[in-house]
Amino acid sequence: MAVNSATSFILSSILALLIFSGMQMYKPLIVKSPIMIIFGGYLGSVMFMFFVTAVGNLEATLFGKNFQLKLPEIVLSMGVSLVAAGMVHRICFTTCLIFSLITIYYMNKLSQKTYSTTVPAAAPVKSRRHK
């Protein structure tokens, strides 16, 4: 079920906030084992995904449906999620970066598949000069 941009902004903001607060509350549990530290980085990348979604939907609500996210918004979202993961553990920062780059790659791929339009190939131009 699809929701409009304003509702999606609210939902993704709440989910990003819940993940951030959960990472802070369960910080002692996350840093206990190496696999949990990697899981903490994964949670940071999920928070990144929700934060990017929130920023994109806020811009779509304010500036119209055809407005697209640009690199500064992605970098800001990445910075916020990396700082949040770094507050848990140093390795969470690194794994969050890796998982977030993978996440943004697949988000871009999905967006291109969903919203791109195919441009017809240009017809070859015949020159008037003969060689």
Q: Is residue 74 domain-resident?
A: yes
Least confident of 4-8, 54-58, 90-94, 127-131: 127-131
Q: Is 122 part of a structural domain of the chain?
A: no
> Is 54 part of a structural domain of the chain?
yes
| pLDDT for position 128 | 74
pLDDT interval class at 131 (50, 70, 90): low
The reply to whether 89 falls in a domain is: yes
Q: How many helices (H) and strands (E) does the chain have?
A: 5, 0
pTM for the model: 0.85
Number of structural domains in the chain? 1
How many other CB atoms are found less than 10 A from the CB of residue 120? 5
What integer pLDDT is reported at residue 130 of this predicted model? Answer: 66
Q: How much is the mean pLDDT over the chain? A: 91
Q: Is residue 125 part of a domain?
A: no
Domain limits at 74?
Answer: 5-112
| Region for 3 from its dihedrals, namely left if φ exceeds 0, alpha if ψ lies in -120 to 50, beta otherwise | beta
Q: Considering only CA atoms, which of 57, 56, 47 is closest in space to residue 97? A: 47
The residue to which tokens 């999920």 are assigned:
46
Residue 124 lies in a domain: no
